[in-house]
Amino acid sequence: MVGKVLEWLEKCWNASVAQNSAASVVAVDHFAGGKSLLAATNDGVVKVMDARTAKYVMDLKVSVSPCGLIRGLCAMGDRWVGVGFSSGFISVVDIRTGMFLGNWKAHDGEILQMVSVSDSAFVSSSLDLAVSVWSATDTRLMHHLRTGNEPLHLVSCAWPRGPLISGSTANRISIHASVMNPVKEPALSRLTSDSIKGLICSLAPLPLNKLVLLGSDNGSITLFA
């Protein structure tokens, strides 16, 4: 099934976008319901595609000034797009109007990951070790989450209103039971070489059975409870 999805994405990209652009995709997300697919490219543009027809729709401008390379992308509900840049800037854009809700310096270091946690809130992680929760409606900082001493390059919200699961380059997994509770310490676990080979480079929660898939840089995929 995964292979078929990747094959479809490749065909969609090649047929609708690639012939007009030499850029490569750096981040992908989709809106609720899966009707629209978002693809951020290394030339600083977010391309919108109709997932029902596999057709390119439009380019979305996501910065008002040079902000560096796009490092993270998240779709909230069916209207807002959050984009994180290598400069530490974040932009939030209304996809219906193309209007900016905000463009601001969110982190002192490069943004590593962006993930939506509700229809109007998202989380960003950065090389400055901060993991921040933001409101998309007014682009304000809600709070910072407690983390360890390592930047988190993998962040994912497990399921609606579920825990936030993150991973570091030191193979540490952090679980925040509630994104909206900044005081509570996360549950931390260090993956040993017996449980996974190599460094983790991808993370995907499985909502139905509440398990987690981890991919490592040696090509292996491991299922964890």
* Nearest alpha-carbon partner for 137 in 155, 156, 119: 119
pLDDT for 122-165, tens place per residue? 999 999 989 999 999 889 999 998 887 888 888 988 766 678 89
Asked whether the beta carbons of 55 and 8 are under 8 A apart, the reply is no
Q: Look at residue 87 and tell me if it is in a domain.
A: yes
pLDDT of 5 > 50? The answer is: no
What is the model's pLDDT at position 88? 94
pLDDT of 214 > 90? The answer is: no
Q: Which residues contact 150 (CB under 8 A, 6 or more apart)?
A: 129, 168, 169, 170, 172
Q: Look at residue 143 and tell me if it is in a domain.
A: yes
What is the model's pLDDT at position 81? 94
What is the model's pLDDT at position 178? 82
- How far, rounded to the nearest angstrom, does the alpha carbon of residue 194 sit from its chain's CA centroid? 29
Give 91's pLDDT tier (boundaries 50, 70, 90): very high
Q: Look at residue 4 and tell me if it is in a domain.
A: no
pLDDT for 154-194, tens place per residue? 898 876 667 889 988 888 888 888 888 777 788 888 888 88
What is the model's pLDDT at position 35? 81
What is the model's pLDDT at position 159? 63
Rounded distance between C-alpha atoms, residue 120 and residue 195, angstroms: 36
Structural domain containing residue 79: 67-224
Q: Look at residue 162 and tell me if it is in a domain.
A: yes
Asked whether the beta carbons of 38 and 28 are under 8 A apart, the reply is yes
Rounded distance between C-alpha atoms, residue 221 and residue 198, angstroms: 11
Asked whether the beta carbons of 59 and 45 are under 8 A apart, the reply is yes
Instruction: Give the CATH number for residue 213.
Output: 2.130.10.10
Region for residue 201 given its phi and psi (left: phi exceeds 0; alpha: psi -120 to 50; beta: otherwise)? alpha
Single-letter code of the amino acid located at 159: W
Concatenate the DSSP letters of all residues of 69-135 into one string.
Answer: -EEEEEEETTTEEEEEETTSEEEEEETTT--EEEEEE--SS-EEEEEESSSSEEEEEETTS-EEEEE
Q: Look at residue 2 and tell me if it is in a domain.
A: no
- Length of the chain in terms of residues written: 225
Q: Look at residue 126 and tell me if it is in a domain.
A: yes
Number of compact structural domains in the chain = 1
Percent of the chain with pLDDT over 90: 24
Rounded distance between C-alpha atoms, residue 41 and residue 77, angstroms: 22
Rounded distance between C-alpha atoms, residue 160 and residue 111, angstroms: 24
**Average pLDDT taken over every residue of the chain:** 83
Q: How far is CA 107 from CA 1, 8, 47, 143, 188, in A?
A: 37, 35, 25, 13, 23
pLDDT for 21-69, tens place per residue? 667 888 888 887 778 889 898 888 899 888 888 788 888 888 888 888 9
Rounded distance between C-alpha atoms, residue 11 and residue 94, angstroms: 27
pLDDT for 46-59, tens place per residue? 998 888 887 888 88
* Nearest alpha-carbon partner for 115 in 134, 97, 102: 134
Q: Look at residue 216 and tell me if it is in a domain.
A: yes
Q: Look at residue 163 and tell me if it is in a domain.
A: yes
CA dihedral 101, 164, 70, 65 (to 10 degrees): 30
Give 14's pLDDT tier (boundaries 50, 70, 90): low
